[in-house]
Structure 1
Amino acid sequence: MPTARSGTSAHRLPALLAALCDRLPDDSCAALERVLQGATGPDDARIGRFIAEQSAAGLAHQLMDITRAWRAEAPGLTGAGLALALATARSRPRTEPAQVVVSGPLSASVPARMTSGVAMEVIRSATTSLLIASFAAHGARDIVREIARAVDRGVYVDLLLEESTQAAEAFAALPSGVHVWHRVGAAGVLHAKLIAADRHTAFLGSANLTDRALSDNIELGVVLRDPRLVEDLIDHFRWLLTPENNIMRRA
């Protein structure tokens, strides 16, 4: 991309393109790319007509912001070049926002879903691996059944459980292929609560895998569906399970 003119920010145009991709579906972005391909610059009449045809609230203004930034920051950039930049921004993985999850009474303050349903949904979404951590576990038969179904479809399951709470007893009916882990030594307890499916989705929060925590207690959690965050989280727990680190041991 040509050097920006003195006194202007070289970062506004890429940010505007990224924001446009986050707003528009792929087919609309592709339509704009086709218009840009034949445009000679930000003042090309074809771009003006495309902007004038947009009826979605604020979209024309957003597109005009892009043409102004194009004119100010990269006046020598062709339409084909901007189309390529837009296609590059469109090709990056789109992340879903974090989702609030609660147990107990539901208010109208924030959009939220119940812990029990979300926990089941995350387990069902696993195709290769499940990593589940809980300080305590009791009952939670629906969760246990869902884990068993995951094992039946070939999902590799690691359960990280606090030994002092006898949490492993809640999962005694699971197949022997499920791997149960306990903390080594007495320096602290395993207090994390996590359900992670493959490397794409992680549900973490305050709720243990108990009947009361999944439904009646006042609990709070969040679902992450950004692989960049989830992968770092999974890598941390996989490091905890590495035998040479002597942090967790197989039960």
Structure 2
Amino acid sequence: MTGRLPGLLAALSRRLPPEGLADLRRCLCSADGPADPLLDRWTADHPAAGLPAELNAVRRAWREEAGRLPGTALALALGAAAVSEEEREPPAELVVSGPTSSALPVRLTSGTAIDVIRSARTSLLIVSFAAYNIDEIVTELRAAAGRGVRIDLFLEESTSAARAFGTLGERVRIWHRAEAPARGSLHAKVITADRRIALLGSANLTDRALYDNVEIGIILRDRRTVSRLTDHFHWLTGPEACYLRRK
């Protein structure tokens, strides 16, 4: 295979969870070509954010660059790409706030959060229960918006976390629970960049949590897992869940 198709298949393999990848490979094995209605039905059954567009891009490249290839060939290529990605995935890294032990190499939460934000080129998704006294984080988000990064902030309304980002204005999209006050709260703490790297942990976006509290977290670079995490929060904004609303 040449042209765009190999890269598109590799990207799709990173995006899909194992069960979704296996399901798509079975569908491709049964498909007569890029226009087969089987692929339309598969797309309709898997409406995760952005996934239909990715599969449609694969189908266009298949039609334009390798129309004679059977679906079985694409299924094999998709499987090979997934195996190659798994072999290259780096391990998770430990992240802490507060005291650090000389016996265990770790990264600090404050610096790691900034590194993840600085690494973003297309999208940032940030989730926090509380947020305050984070001028450096806000500065980095302003810079990210300036380079064209789409920024979604998922914040707990009862803590007034959105106030910490007030100076960013329309540079960011802020999401709250749809029916606040409601049972439970938006309690997760997550920063993801470009669907490829994520910081997960116990630390809110506050000065004490980033620097002083005893907090723990991990950095994930498993693109498939990070994509699934990103999709989950975007699903919460959609009509099926109706859990989050734009501020």
For the criterion TM > 0.5, the same-fold answer is yes
Change (3 A) 1:218 1:184: same
* Equivalent position SS for 1:164: helix
Q: Distance in 1 between matches of 2:246 and 2:239?
A: 9
Determine the structure 1 residue equivalent to 2:178. Answer: 184
Superposition deviation, residue 90 in structure 1: 11
More helix per residue: 1 or 2?
2
Root mean square deviation, CA, Å: 1.6
Aligned with residue 226 of structure 2, among 204, 227, 230: 230
In the alignment, is residue 128 of structure 1 matched against residue 99 of structure 2? no
Superposition deviation, residue 131 in structure 1: 0.3
Superposition deviation, residue 89 in structure 1: 8.7
Aligned with residue 212 of structure 1, among 202, 205, 208: 208
TM-score (structure 1 length as normaliser): 0.63
Give the number of equivalent residue pairs.
Answer: 164
Structure 1 spans left out of the alignment, 5+ residues = 1-87
Q: Distance in 1 between matches of 2:143 and 2:198?
A: 19
Aligned with residue 195 of structure 1, among 180, 185, 191: 191
Superposition misfits of 4+ residues, deviation over 3 angstroms: 88-91
* Equivalent position SS for 2:171: coil
Determine the structure 1 residue equivalent to 2:84. Answer: 92
Structure 2 spans left out of the alignment, 5+ residues = 1-79
Larger Rg: 1
AA aligned opposite 2:231: D
Determine the structure 2 residue equivalent to 1:147. Answer: 141
Q: Distance in 2 between matches of 1:99 and 1:245?
A: 32
Q: Distance in 1 between matches of 2:224 and 2:197?
A: 10
Identity %: 57
Asked whether the 8 Å contact 2:142–2:171 carries over to 1, the reply is no
Asked whether the 8 Å contact 2:95–2:107 carries over to 1, the reply is yes
- Cα displacement string for residues 33-84 of structure 1 (whole angstroms, at most 9, x for unaligned residues): xxxxxxxxxxxxxxxxxxxxxxxxxxxxxxxxxxxxxxxxxxxxxxxxxxxx
Q: Distance in 2 between matches of 1:213 and 1:183?
A: 23
Asked whether the 8 Å contact 1:240–1:248 carries over to 2, the reply is yes
